[in-house]
Amino acid sequence: MAEKIAVIGGTGDLGFGLALRWAKAGKYIIIGSRKEEKAKKAAEKIQTILGKDVKVEGKFNYEAAAEANIVVLSVPFFAQIGILRSIKDALKPGKILVDVIVPLATAIDGPPTRTLGVWTGSAAKLTEQLVPKGVKVVAAFKNVPADAMQNLSEEVDCDVIVCGDDEEAKREVMKLAELIPGVRAIDGGPLENAHVVEELTAFLININIKYGVKNAGIRITGIK
């Protein structure tokens, strides 16, 4: 079975950017949405940008998750629980689920420069709690600027911190990260460390606002 990556929330800014970058790298992408027509339009947009030969299609969230080996969850925090419940039966043991969610205060009409306290410790740990046992949850791409992901004319000047408890799954996600030009994957340790990256994302948004930019990222120094 050929590897397929489902991007649930692939019609949003970051999800679309991830789908675009991976499609360009030759991966088979399924964009998932609660509205199939919206997903199909996003897939068509990628084909318009990259050419008709790229492997990309749009489907309902459940269908996208059911067909994929790797499922990327890139949705707003307020939609996390509902969407996970809607695709739960499609998440079979052994699948990798990449949690990209940041619990920004915008979920309750607060500022994007702050995160909300999550009772599990992080959005990633909440995802782990909600998916079936045996699904390998990895937190990644939380600190990557969406605008940079969609700008194919430039490399993404940012390290991607990847956290997870399953070492093999974490390595697979790190490989996906490094398919994106300019990205270096950093092993961020166990999934419980994801809360640090989620808080860092809100801090980077604050930097963007302060300096009037959109693509603030981070680099971890001292690693060769």
Which DSSP state fits 181?
T
- Which sequence spans correspond to the domains of the chain? 4-211
Residue 152 confidence (pLDDT) above 90: yes
Give the pLDDT band of residue 224 (cuts 50, 70, 90): confident
Ramachandran bin of 205, using left for φ above 0, alpha for ψ from -120 to 50, beta for the remaining angles: alpha
Do the Cβ atoms of 163 and 189 come closer than 8 Å? Answer: yes
Give the number of other CB atoms < 10 A from CB of residue 6. 29
pLDDT reported for residue 120: 94
Q: Region 152-177: what's the mean pLDDT? A: 97
Widest pairwise Cα distance in the chain = 47
Do the Cβ atoms of 146 and 13 come closer than 8 Å? Answer: yes
Q: What percent of the chain shows pLDDT beyond 70?
A: 99
Residue 2 confidence (pLDDT) above 80: no
CATH topology of domain 4-211: Rossmann fold (3.40.50)
Choose among 138, 148, 157, 142: nearest CA to 218.
157
Residue 1 confidence (pLDDT) above 90: no
Do the Cβ atoms of 73 and 142 come closer than 8 Å? Answer: no
**Mean pLDDT across the chain, nearest whole number?**
96
Q: Please name the helix (run of DSSP H) or strand (run of DSSP E) that holds residue 184, with its range, or none.
A: strand 183-187
Residue 83 confidence (pLDDT) above 70: yes
Question: What's the sign of the alpha-carbon dihedral 10, 72, 191, 177?
Answer: negative
Give the pLDDT band of residue 25 (cuts 50, 70, 90): very high
